[in-house]
Chain A
Amino acid sequence: MDSTARFLLSLVTAATFLQVRSTVTVIGLYGETIEVPCNNGAAKPKDLIFTKWKYEMDDGTYRDLLVKQAHKEEAQIQAMDGYKDRVSIAANSSLMIQGGSLVDQRTFTCMVVYGSNLDEHPVDVLVHKKPLPPQIKDKAKELENGKLTSLGVCMAADANPAAVIMWSKNGKQLVADGKTIIITPSVKMDPSTGLSSTTSVLQYTVVKSDVGAKFTCTAEHSLETQVSSPETFIIHCEWSTPPPGGL
């Protein structure tokens, strides 16, 4: 009986602790204002004294962003870095970060001091950006029947996280087999913005039936999956009859 109670108590305590300590993740949009909720947007304590937002540096130390005294109208911005002009606090204690960028992908902590208590609510912020519409470049001028040729390069630029590119022929996904279809993807990150550009090179061996086929590439991203405009290719057929004139 006693041990059960104790167990329950410890469970509850652990749960409370976890609730306070558990990290919430928020995904914000690149370039837009990121709202980082304090304590999951829970109501402010009645005897709130102040709310402070801070963030964790890469070296594990904390930097203060702002302090909002409960009895004052305006928050005091304490940041001295790039956040100085970008942060504010909403009425519900959420931290508002203007012009979200990848540097904001870090842990922000809301410190709530009330009565005789102090709670800290860390929030992990991720900043996502969908890629620019995928485009097929470096298109092959003409394709030779039965010959493995680089069809083109598809690029989905400036995304976070990086987009995944897939190729399709007439709306049907092409699967690389290492012989007739070779797809070579690569991801490059812009060091200044941190955004990733995905490129994918399609090497394809055309067959007769590919005449008039529409090739597209698809950039798959958590925010939006986009499809490039379709491309058709001239297929040079050495041994075959010319393609029907009325195609």
Chain B
Amino acid sequence: MNLVKLILILQTLQSCQAYKDDSSQTGKNASQLELDKNQTEPYITLQSNACSWSPRILRDEIWTSVTFTAESRDQLAHQICMELGCGGVYSLTETNAPPNSTCLTNCTYHEYRLQNCFHVVRINCAMVSDVICEHQAVRLAGGEHRCAGRVELWREGQQWGTVCDDEWDVGDADVVCAQLDCGYALSVTGQGGAFPQGKDPIYLDELKCTGKEGNLWQCPASGESHDCGHKEDAGVVCSELKAVRLTGGVDRCSGKVEIHRNGSWGTVCDTCWGKEEASMVCSMLGCGEPVHFLAFIPPFTHNNSTLWYYQCFPNHTDLWQCKEFANKTLLCADSKAAGLICSGSHGRYLPVTTETATTVLSRTPGPVTTASVSNDGFPFSMSLELLGCISLSFLLLMALVTNTLLCCHYRRRDALLVQQRHANLQTPTEHHDNDYRDSVNLIKVTTSSPTENDVPSNPRYQWTQSSVDSTSVDTDYEQCDLSTEAAVHMTTFQNSIRYKQDTRNPFMRATALDSLSEEAHAGDNHNIFIGGIVDQDPGCNIGPPSVDSFDSSSTSSEECYENTGKDVEDLLTSEGMDQWQPPVTHNANNHLTPSRNPDQTHSNDQGVADGNSGDYEEEGHLNSPDPNQSSSEGDYDDIANYLDSNPEQGY
């Protein structure tokens, strides 16, 4: 009896168990069950964004990559990308399977599943891990780091194209940043932005993303029917932009090392700061080699921001390859902020006042540097040496200028004689010795014309000087070597006026000059045109004589041109790099040159303050101590005119 009971109970238990198994199996997805059984049917798993995916297969209860034949792989990848609405295949990551391994072929894709696959043994089996479809392909070009730049998309296996900035906003840019694993968008750029223009097609326009899309192609947009040019290329600065800069120094190649992330600039703990790291930063900034990277007195203080610690190994070539630690208090315990002076810095011994640093840096264009207003003085302890240096160079310059002046004096005397002989100029020259006064009057009479007075002083043209230069080189050459007797006196006088203008304020010269050369392009006045250009032209050794009377030059002018040219060239190539230069030489000239009209000088100064670039300061003082530069008379007498007759103009 007991035995029967026991059997019964056991049976019930068994049936229960069986029922339980049944119920659990029916609860499962049918396909899953099938897969579990034969483990051959692969799935397509989409990655977080909709346009990249991986084929996966469950093998021994582990999801692994799937092995395909080469033909099958290409066909499937393309088909799946297309069916996902993601364009073609952009990239495919795979590893070669060992020869003669079993792989799948002839699969049909349906709703994230690969069905009816055949197993074959091939020598060219490949294990596909990741497929990125075209719509997922995006890059940020023209920036210093992959997380900032001009947005570029890839399409139809052809080329990278750009996105138009119409309606381009942070929401749209967020999509790109997220796609690139660059965080979120800090700022967007468009026309006139910091990144260079792209070329080739413009793919999208008037994007209206929410920011949550997987890629830009998923956002409502107008595609082919855009009305954009490449100057409107959209760009973005993402929060994960890795950027480094030096602040608080005399220029961009010296100062406290700051690291960008999430829109703020953190500092580097000097506990990790060595020769290697310093070298990396100098070369990343294009500033040469580190000159000084430790032991700054007083030490740099940390910003109230992220503290960065880098662990760089010998195989690392830039800071971003190094292991990066953010805000690890242990690593930064009682550390200072790392500082750096690279060999590319011009002011390695310059103690810089906060004022100077601020003005310099705020002028610097670009998204990164604009914010770089120094908040602490540069801790250099060499101010005395520097002062010595400055005063020495000052003295040298003064000696040079004095010499040139003397030389000029004698020349002028000669020229005056010539001029009187020709008697073209009716202005009475009461005092031959007073060259400045005479020359000014002279020019006023001879070359003043009403049109020139209308030329606006437009500082904006300063930035276009190089283009002016390039367009008019030939003209320069023409005038340079022509030496006629008649021209000499003109030269001399006009130089003197020019000299005076220059020395009083070199900024003014540049401004007016630019205006004039701009006018010259309009074809108003040939003299002006030529004069305006000469300044910028590197050389004038050859060329046929010009008809223009102003254009003749004394032979001595050549050397000046060479100087000017070289300097200008330097200036043009180094661009913003030169802006640090304090205009020391200008003062020197001011001392040496009698100021004829203080009021005018003053107004000039104002004009300059409106917006001259450092380059022009540089050029100004380089040219100014050189009174023999004869062939630039055209512009200079015009300037003189312009200034004399219109001292209030433009201010």
Residues of A within 8 A of B (CB): 49-50, 52, 54, 62, 64, 67, 69, 71-72, 74, 76-80, 84, 111, 113, 116-118
Contact A69 B297 (CB under 8 A): no
How many Å lie between the Cα of A36 and that of B270 in the bound state? 23
| Residues 328 to 343 of chain B near chain A (Cβ within 8 Å) | 330-331, 333-334, 336
Q: Which among B270, B295, B297, B330 is the interface contact of A113 at CB below 8 angstroms?
A: B330
Given A69-B311, A77-B294: A49 touches B274 (CB 8 Å cut-off)? no
Tell whether, in the assembled complex, residue B294 and residue A76 are in contact, meaning their CB atoms are under 8 Å apart.
Answer: yes
Residues of B within 8 A of A64 (CB): 270, 336
Asked if B313 is at the interface (CB within 8 A of a chain A CB), the reply is: yes
Known: A71-B313, A76-B294. A116 touches B330 (CB 8 A): yes
Shortest Cβ gap from A61 to chain B (Å): 10
**A15: shortest Cβ distance to chain B, in Å?**
23
Contact A80 B272 (CB under 8 A): no
- List B281-315 residues whose CB lies under 8 Å from chain A: 294-295, 297, 311, 313
Nearest residue (CB) in B for A113 is B330
Contact for B271 among A67, A72, A80, A117, CB less than 8 A: A67
Residues in A neighbouring B297, C-beta threshold 8 A: 80
Would you call A69 and B330 a contact (CB within 8 A)? no
Q: B295–A80 contact, CB under 8 A?
A: yes
Let me know if B275 is at the binding interface, CB within 8 A: yes
Contact between A69 and B274, CB atoms less than 8 A apart: yes
Closest 7 CB pairs of A and B: A80-B295, A76-B274, A118-B330, A67-B271, A113-B330, A78-B294, A118-B333
| B273 at interface by CB-CB < 8 Å | yes
| Other 14 A-B pairs with CB < 8 A, given A52-B271, A71-B311, A74-B274 | A49-B330, A50-B271, A64-B270, A67-B271, A67-B274, A76-B274, A77-B294, A80-B295, A80-B297, A111-B333, A113-B271, A113-B330, A118-B330, A118-B333
Residues of B contacting A69 in the complex (Cβ-Cβ under 8 angstroms): 272, 274, 311
Residues of B at the A interface (CB closer than 8 Å) are 270-276, 294-295, 297, 311, 313, 330-331, 333-334, 336
* Chain A positions within 8 Å of B311 at CB level: 49, 69, 71
Is there contact, CB below 8 Å, between A72 and B295?
A: no
A167 to B313, CA, bound (A): 65
CB distance from A80 to the nearest CB of B (A): 3
B327 to chain A, nearest CB (A): 13
- List, sorted by A's number, 28 A–B pairs whose CB atoms are closer than 8 Å: A49-B330, A49-B331, A50-B331, A54-B334, A64-B270, A64-B336, A67-B270, A67-B274, A69-B272, A69-B274, A69-B311, A72-B274, A76-B273, A76-B274, A76-B275, A77-B294, A78-B270, A78-B294, A78-B295, A79-B295, A80-B295, A80-B297, A84-B295, A111-B333, A113-B271, A113-B331, A116-B330, A117-B330
Q: Could you tell me the distance in whole angstroms from the C-beta of A59 to the nearest C-beta in chain B? A: 15
CA of A116 to CA of B329 in the docked complex: distance in angstroms?
Answer: 10
Whole-angstrom distance between the alpha carbons of A117 and B297 in the complex? 30
Q: Residue of A at shortest CB range from B293?
A: A76
Report A-chain residues with C-beta under 8 Å of the C-beta of B270. Answer: 64, 67, 78
Give B319 Cβ to nearest chain A Cβ, in Å. Answer: 15
Compute the total of residue contacts between A and B using a CB distance below 8 Å.
46
Which B residues are CB-close (under 8 A) to A80? 294-295, 297
A50-B272, A69-B272, A71-B313 given; A113·B294 CB < 8 A = no
Q: Which residue of B lies closest to A70 (CB)?
A: B311
Complex contacts, A76 vs chain B, CB 8 Å: 273-275, 294
Interchain CA distance A52-B273 in the complex, whole Å: 12
B271 contacts which chain A residues (CB < 8 A)?
50, 52, 67, 113
Q: Shortest Cβ distance from A201 into chain B, in angstroms? A: 49
Give the distance in Å from the alpha carbon of A69 to the alpha carbon of B294 in the complex.
15
**B272 and A113: CB pair below 8 A?**
no
State the Cβ distance, A123 to closest chain B Cβ, in Å.
17
Q: Could you tell me the distance between the alpha carbons of A67 and B270 in the complex, rounded to whole angstroms?
A: 9
Question: When A76-B275, A77-B294, A80-B297 are in contact, do A62 and B313 touch as well, CB less than 8 Å?
Answer: no
Give the chain A neighbours of B334 by CB distance below 8 A: 54, 62, 111
Q: Bound state CA distance, A62 and B299, in angstroms?
A: 13
Complex interface: chain A residues within 8 A of B272 (CB):
50, 67, 69
| Contact residues in B for A111 (Cβ distance below 8 Å) | 333-334
> Do the beta carbons of B274 and A113 come within 8 Å of each other?
no
Measured between C-beta atoms, what is the minimum distance from B226 to chain A in Å?
51
| Docked pose: A72 CA to B295 CA in angstroms | 20
| B95 → A minimal CB distance (Å) | 31
Q: Shortest Cβ distance from B129 into chain A, in angstroms?
A: 31
Closest to A109 in B: B334
Separation of A84 and B294 alpha carbons in the complex (Å): 11
Rounded to whole Å, the gap between the CB of B131 and the closest CB of chain A is 37
Chain A residue nearest to B278 (CB atoms) is: A76
Q: How far is the CB of B334 from chain A (nearest CB, A)?
A: 6
* Contact residues in B for A84 (Cβ distance below 8 Å): 295
Query: Chain A residues near B274 (CB, 8 Å)?
Result: 67, 69, 72, 74, 76
Please indicate the chain B residues that have their CB under 8 angstroms from the CB of A72 in the complex: 274, 276
Residue of A nearest to B275 (CB): A76
CA distance A113 to B270 in the complex (A): 14
Q: How far is the CA of A100 from the CA of B334 in the complex (A)?
A: 26
Residue of A nearest to B273 (CB): A76
- Which residues from chain B contact A67 at a C-beta distance below 8 Å? 270-272, 274
Residues of chain B within 8 A (CB-CB) of A74 are 274
Bound CA span A103–B334, Å: 23
Residues of B within 8 A of A71 (CB): 311, 313
CA distance A12 to B272 in the complex (A): 34
A49 closest partner in B (C-beta): B331
A116 to B325, CA, bound (A): 12
Could you say which residues of chain B place their CB within 8 Å of the CB of A118?
A: 330, 333
CA distance A69 to B270 in the complex (A): 12
A54 CA to B270 CA, complexed, in Å: 13
Residues in chain B near residue A117, CB distance under 8 A = 330
B645 → A minimal CB distance (Å): 60
By a CB distance below 8 angstroms, the chain B residues around A52 are 271
Q: Which residues of B contact A62 (CB under 8 A)?
A: 334
Cα(A232)–Cα(B271), bound, Å: 65
B276's nearest neighbour on chain A, judged by CB, is A72
**Closest chain B CB from A53 CB (angstroms):** 12
Cα separation A69 to B276 with both chains bound (whole Å)? 12
Note all chain A residues with C-beta closer than 8 A to B294: 76-78, 80
CB nearest neighbor in B for A84: B295
Q: Measured between C-beta atoms, what is the minimum distance from A112 to chain B in Å?
A: 10
Q: Within 8 Å CB of B313, what residues of A?
A: 71
- How far is B330's CA from A50's CA once the two chains are assembled, in angstroms? 10
In the complex formed, the residue of A with least CB distance to B294 is A78
A residues less than 8 Å from B333 (CB atoms) = 111, 113, 118
Q: Report the bound CA distance from A160 to B139 in whole Å.
A: 70
Q: Tell me which residues across on chain B come within 8 A of A78, comparing CB atoms.
A: 270, 294-295
- Which chain B residues lie closer than 8 Å to A79 at the CB level? 295
Residue of B nearest to A62 (CB): B334
Q: Which of chain A's residues has its CB closest to B271's CB?
A: A67
Q: How far is the CA of A8 from the CA of B275 in the complex (A)?
A: 48
In whole Å, how far is A117's beta carbon from the nearest beta carbon of chain B?
A: 7
